Structure 1
Amino acid sequence: MSMEKPPSRPDEPEGCLTAVIRIPVRIVVLVIVVPVRMVWDVLVVGARALDRTVLRPAGRALAWLGRALFVRPGVWLWRQVVVPAVHHVLVVPGVWLYRHVLAPVGRGLAQGLGWLAKALFVWPWVALWRYVVVPVARYGIGVPAAWVYRWVLTPLGGGASYLLGRLWRYGIALPLTWLYRHLLAPVGRGLAQGLGWLAKALFVWPWVALWRYAVVPVVRYGVVVPLVWLYRRVLAPVGRELLDALRVGWRVAGFVSRAVGRALAWVAWNLVGRPGAWFYRTVCTPVGHWVRDQVWAPARRAAVAAGQAAREGLAAARATVRQARRDAWRALVGGPRVTEPVEPVVASARTLGSTTTASGAAPEPEISLRKRG
């Protein structure tokens, strides 16, 4: 990795200040950053190891324990106890009560109340409206009012509307329109233009001239230009150098931290890992094989034989009890006694490579496949 600064861009020339502070800044930053990077790498490795060896197994164990202690019992209790109890105690009686009692009673009450409400409040008012109010309003008010509107009010309204319209148009609207168009509008436009020019001359143009020829040049050449020069010639080069120094120092610290980590890993492997692997291969593996072949396999075969013998004994006991029950029933009820032939129980043999039994298979000697091969 090169420690030199890459060539600068053509639009930003390098100054003497940049060349002077480059190497000291990078050395100081490297000395400061290397311990920080090593501590950071140690924390990252420790956090990953803690997550992989402690937090994840603990989380899985807690999740399994929570499911075993709370979720599964709660689900079983809800499905097997709460739901059937609620169904048989509340739902079934409620449905029966609603279907056979409340619904018929409610429908009967609704029909009765409906007929009673109609008889008391609807039908009398309907009859009154249909046979009293409508005829009176129609023949006592509607017909005379229609005749008066058609033969009296309509001709009078038409004549009055015509006269008022002509009077408004030729007596008021046309004179006002001529007055606004030829007198008021030109005078208003002239006054507005004159007042506008006067307001600009008094309040706008002096401030515009002051802003354009006094404030803007002072701010531009007194504040902006010095700040731009300071940023381009001092702050930007110093900032770029500091950023480059931090980047280079962080990379170099990463290489140093990686080299230190590899050295520590090599030392740990040669001090702990290699002796542990040798002990596992030369001691633990042979001992484990001996325990598996000499202790675990005979114990497993003995347990299988004991289980087979127990199952055969239970089958014979069940057959004896069944036969005794049949004989007792025949002795009480009567009938010819027929003795069913009992087939001899033949020990089932295990198939090679499995623990299940197959009927009709010849027994195989209990010899390990590893020793046989």
Structure 2
Amino acid sequence: MRKRPAEPPVRREPEAPEGCLTVAIRIPVRIVVLVLVVPVRMLWDALVVAGRFLNDALLRPLGRALLWLGRAVFVWPFVALWRWVVVPVGKALGWLGHVLVVVPLVWLYRYVLTPVGHAIAWVARGAGAALGWIAGGVGAALGWVYAALLTPVGYAVMWVLKGLGAVLAALGIGVWTALAWLVKYLVVVPAVWLYTWVLAPVGRAIGWCAKGLVWLVSMAVTGIGTALYWIARILLVLPALAVWRWILTPVGRVLAVIGRELWDALGHAWRVAGHISLAVGRFLGTLFRWIFVEPVRWVYRSVLTPVGHVVRDAVWRPAAEAARSVGRATRQALAAARESVRQARADFRRMLFGEPRRPQPVDRREPSGRETRTLGSSTTALTKD
């Protein structure tokens, strides 16, 4: 077994020096808290002892009895029902289902559906071959029609459509050129002139006016915001900061010291009260032992044990020996009575029916007992005497 490496010692940081206020608060707070906590701790320890005794003496046996009762009432009947009713019934139903459903279905599939399916497949293959032959003939005929009739007609139609497309393309190009010239000199040139000499100067003037208006509004908002900031800072922030720095912070520090000392005092008082409660409990236990347990033990050892030994040696053992002797004599008398009744019954049967027949000895060819065969004796059918 490998030894665990020794852990390095933990370095503790030096405690900060405590102030006079902390030392002045600590002692009276601990005294008051100790006086208040000792009865609570003793009551708590008494409740813990009573709870343990109640758990060991009442709740745990009661829980075991309720658990056994619950098993006897709820679990064991269902287990017996499952084991001796549901499982056999399920096996019987499974066997019936196998015999009445599975076996007929297997027979139907094997000896009816499979031959019918093979026949249908054979018919379908024949029909498919016939349809394929017909489709091949139709396809050949359609191929001849396409090659000998439709292809020349299609070429002629394409030649006519190409001529019409060339004529229509020439007409479209002329019309598109005329429309483009008209749109350029009737729409585009006036629109460019209007944008260059009218809309652009007006837009620049409107943008300059809007920039000036935005600058004025931003300067007004900035001035109002600065004024409101300084008003709020002077009227709200600086008084709140002064109250926080010069009132709430010192009071909070004092309350933190009091709360920390009160918490430490509670822990210290709880531990001290535990020691006091332990000492009181040991004193009461010792007192109970010397008042009740030791006298009872002395009475048991010095009085009841010798009396019990005397009673055992003088009364119980002779009485038990006498009882055993009486039992042995009674058993012997009963055995003798049973034997006498058996003999009388046998004599009465012989007197009425006579002696029973004794079986006649049979001449056996096989050697009896542990005798061995010899060359002069045999047990076969051909060589026996």
Distance in 2 separating the partners of 1:134 and 1:325: 108
Distance in 1 separating the partners of 2:326 and 2:137: 111
Distance 1:140 1:32, change over 3 A: same
- 335, 340, 347: which one pairs with 2:358? 335
Distance 1:302 1:61, change over 3 A: farther
Q: CA deviation at 1:280?
A: 1.3
Partner of 1:29: 33
Distance 1:93 1:302, change over 3 A: farther
Distance 1:328 1:127, change over 3 A: farther
Distance in 2 separating the partners of 1:85 and 1:331: 57
- Please say which structure displays the higher CA radius of gyration: 2
What secondary structure is seen at the aligned counterpart in 2 of 1:259?
helix
Distance 1:37 1:306, change over 3 A: same
CA contact 1:37–1:257 (8 Å) conserved in 2? yes
Distance 1:104 1:132, change over 3 A: same
Distance in 2 separating the partners of 1:57 and 1:42: 22
Q: Residues 206-285 of structure 1: matches in 2 within 5 Å?
A: 229-230=249-250, 233-285=253-305
CA contact 1:8–1:14 (8 Å) conserved in 2? no
What secondary structure is seen at the aligned counterpart in 2 of 1:335?
coil
Question: More displaced, 230-239 or 25-34?
Answer: 230-239
CA contact 1:33–1:250 (8 Å) conserved in 2? yes
Unmatched segments (≥5 aa) in structure 1: 1-6, 149-201, 337-373
Distance in 2 separating the partners of 1:306 and 1:70: 47
Q: CA deviation at 1:128?
A: 2.8
CA contact 1:30–1:246 (8 Å) conserved in 2? yes
Distance in 2 separating the partners of 1:66 and 1:299: 45
Distance in 2 separating the partners of 1:319 and 1:89: 56
Q: CA deviation at 1:44?
A: 1.0
Partner of 2:44: 40
Distance in 2 separating the partners of 1:135 and 1:326: 113
Distance in 1 separating the partners of 2:87 and 2:348: 47
What secondary structure is seen at the aligned counterpart in 1 of 2:18?
coil
| 2:269 maps to amino acid | G
Distance in 2 separating the partners of 1:137 and 1:314: 114
Q: CA deviation at 1:31?
A: 1.2
Distance 1:78 1:234, change over 3 A: same
The answer on 1:9 being equivalent to 2:51 is no
Distance 1:131 1:226, change over 3 A: farther
Q: Percent of counterpart pairs with the same letter?
A: 39
1:51-83 deviation per Cα after TM superposition (whole angstroms, max 9, x unaligned):
22333344445556667x6589859x939xx85
Distance 1:61 1:8, change over 3 A: same
Distance 1:89 1:257, change over 3 A: closer
Distance 1:44 1:124, change over 3 A: same
Q: CA deviation at 1:42?
A: 0.8
Distance in 2 separating the partners of 1:299 and 1:63: 44
Partner of 1:291: 311
After TM superposition, the score normalised by the length of structure 2 is 0.50
The answer on 1:20 being equivalent to 2:24 is yes
CA RMSD of aligned residues (A): 5.3
What secondary structure is seen at the aligned counterpart in 1 of 2:15?
coil
Q: CA deviation at 1:26?
A: 1.1
Distance in 2 separating the partners of 1:58 and 1:292: 37
What secondary structure is seen at the aligned counterpart in 2 of 1:47?
helix
CA contact 1:33–1:249 (8 Å) conserved in 2? yes
Q: Residues 60-209 of structure 1: matches in 2 within 5 Å?
A: 60-62=64-66, 74=77, 78=80, 83=83, 91=91, 95=95, 97=96, 102-111=101-110, 112-116=112-116, 119=119, 122-133=121-132, 136=135, 140=139
Distance 1:303 1:225, change over 3 A: farther
Distance 1:235 1:136, change over 3 A: farther
Distance in 1 separating the partners of 2:340 and 2:137: 105
Q: CA deviation at 1:241?
A: 0.9
Structure with greater contact order relative to length (CA < 8 Å, sep ≥ 6) = 2
Question: More displaced, 26-35 or 284-293?
Answer: 284-293
Residues paired across the two proteins, number: 263
